[in-house]
Amino acid sequence: MTRPTDFNQCPKCKKNTATSAIHSDGTGRFYCIEKHCHFEVTTQKQDMNKTVGKLQEIKKKMFPSR
């Protein structure tokens, strides 16, 4: 049985009723179990190579070579 301390605070209803579920492919969701809240956000496994590439692009834009 889950305890109230096993949940996170829901950003929408502010109750400790938010939890997450992750699927085997790395996708998932963060959602509230409160009956009338309906808060849900989909999540995705982070690709570090893609993230590093995006950071390099930002760095080039902020600090162009002279």
> 37 pairs with which residues across the strands?
none
Q: Mean pLDDT, to the nearest integer, of 49-62?
A: 91
pTM: 0.61
pLDDT in tens, 8-41: 999 999 999 999 999 888 889 999 999 999 999 9
What's the CA gap between 6 and 12, in Å, rounded?
18
Rounded-to-10 torsion of CA 32, 38, 39, 41: 100
pLDDT of residue 60: 92
34, 10 Cβ separation under 8 angstroms: yes
